[in-house]
Amino acid sequence: MLIVSIFETEKFLNGYEYIVSRYKMISTQIPSKSYVKRLDVFYTLGEGVVVAGDVESKSRKGLLHYTRIVLDPLTMKIVKESCSCEAGAFHRKCWHLKVLEQLTSSEEIKEKIEKARQEMLAVEEDIASWG
């Protein structure tokens, strides 16, 4: 939580205006599943494990942004990320990417990522055995 002080002028019954300070709490947590409309976990041999989904815009309800994170299969660190929003067009880290990153830490998604990772490593091992 972030606490912000807001200064406003307020007119009292006696007719005078006073500057009043109020405190407002703002949540710094990123809402997750309610904004994610579709989520896929798969792999591509050239890139790694891909977590992709449609994340709804906070400012424009109903507008979905295709958001994609690529994880290195060995280190499980993010190696690529992209989003179809305005910030993503300029290769900036947007809110949609943060939502997707937060979801990757949930147990349900971790299991899907690990399954895709194991499948990818098995295919790569099979290809390497061809000679």
Instruction: Write the pLDDT tens digit of every residue in 48-75.
Output: 999 999 999 888 888 999 999 999 999 9
Domain tally for the chain? 1
The secondary structure of 61-109, three-state, reads CCCEEEEEEEECCCCCCEEEEEECCHHHHCCCCCHHHHHHHHHCCCHHH
Quick check: is 94 in a domain?
yes
Quick check: is 44 in a domain?
yes
Instruction: Write the pLDDT tens digit of every residue in 119-128.
Output: 999 998 898 8
pTM, to two decimals: 0.70
Quick check: is 87 in a domain?
yes
- CA 80 – CA 78 distance, rounded (Å): 6
Instruction: Write the pLDDT tens digit of every residue in 79-129.
Output: 999 999 999 888 888 999 999 998 888 888 999 999 999 999 999 889 889
Q: Are 52 and 45 in contact (CB under 8 A)?
A: no
Quick check: is 31 in a domain?
no
Quick check: is 3 in a domain?
no
Which residue range is the domain that position 118 belongs to? 36-128
